[in-house]
Amino acid sequence: MSAPKKTSDTASVRDASLRKRLGSLGDILDNGPGDAVAKATGVFRKPPANDNQPDFFVPTIQDVPIKDGLDLMDIAVFRLAKSQTRKGDIIRHELPGVTITVAGGAHGMATIMDYDIVLMMVSHLAEQTRLYRQGRVPKPVKFFRPSSVEIFKFCRVSRGGCSYDMLAEALRRLQGTFIEIAQNTGAKKSRRTGYFPLIAGADVISKTDTGRIGTVEIIIPDWMYDAVTMHTNPEVLTVDPDYFLLKKGLARFVYRLARKAAGKNEAIYSFASVHTRSGSTRPLNKFTHDLRALIADNALPGYELYEVSGIEGPQLCMRCRSQILTG
């Protein structure tokens, strides 16, 4: 099957959005989705050295499938960048039927990069639950004890000195960030309600010879433990490993939104709604510029992005790339 040619075949297409989508499809058919994504170097950071090499001195914990909690993937329960967080930070989401308030602590609100540790915790818990149901391991406990090296390997970051400092800062912010979900009067219950920490606590169990974090024990909050272990089908979705290589918080948020809302199909949100759900502190006009740049790169793992017009203004359409090839 031959791919569309950008300079000739697609040039005659009048609709700009369709023309761009056909050009993107040509990239995928010519090079495969992975190669097309790899070209957008502005979206991804460079993987750390030996990223794909097995480490015989590190347990296989970093090899488990990456999972994310389904219930909170369509809103930001963190800031998109460390520059946007501050002491006593608040994000409030007014959604149909519920009000969700995210509050940061003394060290500021957790960031979407800090949340990588939560993804690792959820992934570990989901894998242990799967193995437990197969009768291969004991029932999962409510704490997670990874080494710093395991965290770096799982999150695909280097083991440099600054990574240890960022790990310590991330744990402080995660411990201080809480979510409150309140059901609106008369509304049908659509999400669990109550007060939820991102992590229930953390303690450094051991240190390296240089005094840095060696092993950390993270207490899994009850709400997260129950969501994964108490259901026949755990409330989690698999995340592409290249998610960790996305440089910007906005790209990560849009991926999470697409993963939940679009799944294997398509989902559309107004730019204004994406702005609100992201919790971004940037003005809408600057956020719109950032979002259009992300659409122009069109490099999210597994999803194509394009802009369409709507009654409420510009809209973001997120479509599963596998649907582009088969649908």
Give the tens place of pLDDT for each residue, 105-154. Answer: 999 999 999 999 999 999 999 999 999 999 999 999 999 999 999 999 99
What pLDDT is recorded for position 18? 52
Each residue's pLDDT tens digit, 84-93: 878 889 999 9
Which tokens belong to 280?
A: 């971004």
Could you tell me the pTM of the whole model?
Answer: 0.83
What pLDDT is recorded for position 63? 59
What pLDDT is recorded for position 136? 96
User: Has residue 325 got a pLDDT over 60?
Assistant: no
Which tokens belong to 156?
A: 């695909």
Return d(Cα 37, Cα 182) in angstroms, integer.
39
Which tokens belong to 3?
A: 């791919």
Residue 273 has phi, psi (to 5 degrees) of -70, -40
Do the Cβ atoms of 236 and 126 come closer than 8 Å? yes
Q: What is the identity of the amino acid at 96?
A: P
Place of tokens 């040619």: 5
What pLDDT is recorded for position 315? 98
pLDDT class for 83, splitting at 50, 70, 90? confident
Each residue's pLDDT tens digit, 237-267: 999 999 999 999 999 999 999 999 999 999 9
Q: For 139-145, which contacts have Cβ atoms below 8 Å and span 24 or more sequence positions?
A: 140/225, 140/229, 142/200, 142/219, 142/220, 142/222, 142/225, 143/217, 143/218, 143/219, 143/220, 144/120, 144/217, 144/218, 144/219, 144/220, 145/205, 145/215, 145/216, 145/217, 145/218
User: Has residue 7 got a pLDDT over 60?
Assistant: no
